[in-house]
């Protein structure tokens, strides 16, 4: 990417967008455009069109999305499919009509079938049924991938799609009702430590395995791919190794310094048994993750401590 050209980061206050913005600033990109959701509602097509016509960005990182954990996906399925379809459609189409040189669309590894072989290869997309608990969100993300690929085929655009694994880091969502498992556990262990609680309850059996990527590593991969990859194939972004939820909980417990015991509420859903991505394609392009899990959790917990008042609202 030309450092003098204009870059629009959609969703710059979220976990992913804020990491991409930090990375770009670190790399010396100064012409970065951002808009809060109050300034620019991406669900509003007319407002999105006006923004693109006025600003004419050269590059777009589409990190804006409605996201949440199992509870949120179960309770608000209509919101998840509607809002994400509208955001993607409005931004991708406006990018095409206003001559954006290159766009990177952030998908999710929940696009893959629930019972797909592990690790998840990019070619497993659309080969089986999705995990029911987040199907509306996954279908929206699949539509975004297919939209980018279709625009490339029909209009000759340069839109690429990446599929990050489970993410965590600064600006994460620590709301116990809507967050993902890692930030939720950080908050649970911290509050248990502060109140001298005897135990912390973990949802499910603790046996499912998940892969976790530090958000600044994802941002590094996204900028790298914008510079080094063009094509219609989707690209997984991950670390290539996973961990059982029980072991994750014990690692977070150790980082936070909580001395009580763990209990498991087996009446709560486990979700997908395992979700590890194959990162061969990404590694072959020349990128590998650098932050190990414990180091990343320490950084995430430090950010939580420094921002606890706002992070827990």
Distance CA 41, CA 100 (A): 20
As a whole-number percent, the residues of the chain with pLDDT over 70 amount to: 100
Evaluated on CA atoms 43, 20, 176, 268, the torsion sign reads positive
Higher pLDDT, residue 173 or 103:
103
> pLDDT tens digits for 22-44?
999 999 999 999 999 999 999 99
| Residue 58 burial (C-beta neighbours within 10 Å; 0-12, 13-18, 19+) | middle
**Contact 219/264 with Cβ under 8 angstroms?**
no
Please determine, for residue 134, whether its predicted confidence score (pLDDT) is greater than 90. Answer: no
Cα of first residue to Cα of last residue in the chain, in angstroms, is 37
Q: Report, as residue numbers or ranges, the catalytic residues.
A: 137
Q: CA geometry: angle at 304 spanning 172 and 254, to 5°?
A: 105
**Residue where the block lists tokens 């019972």:** 115
Superfamily for domain range 7-171+211-240+275-291: NAD(P)-binding Rossmann-like Domain (3.40.50.720)
Please determine, for residue 178, whether its predicted confidence score (pLDDT) is greater than 80. Answer: no
Strand order in the sheet with 243-244: 243-244, 209-210, 274-275
Distance CA 45, CA 28 (A): 32
Structure tokens at 164: 């990050």
What pLDDT score was predicted for residue 147? Answer: 98
> pLDDT tens digits for 214-244?
999 999 999 999 999 999 999 999 999 999 9
Distance CA 195, CA 189 (A): 10
The residues near 310 (Cβ < 8 Å, ≥ 6 apart) are none
Domain positions in the chain: 7-171+211-240+275-291
Which residues are documented as binding site for NADP(+)? 11-17, 106-109, 141, 164-167, 180
pLDDT band at 133 (very low <50, low <70, confident <90, very high): confident
Please determine, for residue 270, whether its predicted confidence score (pLDDT) is greater than 90. Answer: no
What pLDDT score was predicted for residue 310? Answer: 84
Please determine, for residue 128, whether its predicted confidence score (pLDDT) is greater than 90. Answer: yes
What pLDDT score was predicted for residue 269? Answer: 81
Paired sense of beta strands 261-265 and 212-214, if any: unpaired
Please determine, for residue 70, whether its predicted confidence score (pLDDT) is greater than 90. Answer: no
**Whole-number Cα distances in Å, 278 to 30, 285, 298:** 34, 13, 26
Structure tokens at 304: 């939580």
What pLDDT score was predicted for residue 114? Answer: 87
Which residues are documented as binding site? 11-17, 106-109, 141, 164-167, 180, 188, 203, 210, 270
Which residues are documented as binding site for substrate? 188, 203, 210, 270
What pLDDT score was predicted for residue 311? Answer: 82
Q: What is the mean pLDDT of residues 142-168?
A: 97
Structure tokens at 264: 């498991």
pLDDT band at 74 (very low <50, low <70, confident <90, very high): confident
**Contact 272/131 with Cβ under 8 angstroms?**
yes
């Amino acid at each position: 990417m030309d450092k003098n050209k204009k870059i629009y980061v959609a969703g710059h206050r979220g976990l992913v967008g804020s990491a991409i913005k930090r990375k770009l600033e670190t790399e010396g990109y100064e012409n970065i455009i951002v808009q809060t959701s109050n300034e620019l509602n991406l669900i509003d097509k007319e407002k999105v069109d006006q923004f693109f016509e006025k600003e004419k960005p050269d590059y777009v990182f589409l990190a804006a999305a409605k996201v949440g954990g199992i509870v949120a996906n179960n309770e608000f399925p209509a919101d998840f499919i509607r809002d994400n379809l509208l955001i993607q459609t409005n931004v991708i189409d406006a990018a095409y009509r206003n001559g954006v040189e290159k766009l990177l669309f952030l998908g999710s590894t929940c696009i893959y079938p629930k019972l797909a072989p592990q690790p998840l290869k990019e070619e497993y997309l659309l080969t089986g049924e999705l995990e029911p608990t987040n199907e509306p969100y996954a279908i929206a993300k699949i539509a975004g991938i297919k939209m980018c690929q279709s625009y490339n085929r029909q209009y000759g655009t340069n839109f690429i799609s990446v599929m990050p694994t489970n993410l965590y880091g600064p600006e994460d969502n620590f709301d116990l009702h809507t967050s993902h498992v890692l930030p939720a556990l950080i908050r649970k262990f911290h509050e248990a430590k502060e109140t001298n609680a005897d135990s912390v309850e973990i949802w499910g059996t603790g046996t499912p395995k998940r892969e976790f990527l530090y958000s600044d590593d994802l941002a590094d991969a996204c900028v790298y791919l914008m510079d080094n990859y063009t094509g219609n194939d989707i690209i997984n972004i991950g670390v290539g190794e996973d961990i059982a939820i029980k072991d994750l909980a014990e690692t977070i417990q150790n980082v936070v310094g909580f001395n009580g015991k763990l209990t498991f509420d087996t009446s709560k859903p486990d979700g997908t048994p395992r979700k590890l991505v194959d990162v061969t394609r990404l590694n072959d392009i020349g990128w590998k993750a650098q932050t190990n899990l414990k180091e990343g959790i320490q950084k995430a917990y430090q950010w939580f401590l420094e921002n606890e008042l706002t992070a827990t609202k």
